[in-house]
Amino acid sequence: MAPPLVAPPPEMPSSAPLDRLDELAALRRENAVLREALEARKVIELAKALLMWRDGLSEPAAHRYIQKSSMDSRVPMVEIARSLIPATPPRSGQVRTAAVRPSSRPATTYRPESWTSPRRWAAPPTEPLRGLAR
């Protein structure tokens, strides 16, 4: 005898919000993991660029250096990369610039009106300049 065909029981309306909350929590966890992975990749890329610039390594050689150091010391690559990047001192909110040296030339040597002068856009001379002819 065949089992009777019975419709599945309808879902309870109170479980729908809980399913949504579970799904939202899972998405938030996934988002946090992906953000950490992206941040780690950025740090590793910065360390590779620093090795390429400072030590003259190629990109694969710089990556291999970080990777090998990570394996030898049993430390994640991102931690090795962070150790390669020099720490910058914290800023107090005020940016200090380098002192400006006094110049012997006057500051008004640039004249924007010279760019719009009609002489600038005149046709080149047809006769050779004096002193430059051979």
Q: 60-84: per-residue pLDDT in tens? A: 999 999 999 999 999 999 999 999 9
**pTM score, two decimals?**
0.52
Rg (CA), the chain: 34
Lowest mean pLDDT among 21-30, 37-46, 84-93, 98-107: 98-107
**CATH C-level class of 40-86:** mainly alpha
CA distance 41 to 48: 10
CA distance 43 to 9: 52
In this prediction, residue 11 carries a pLDDT of 60
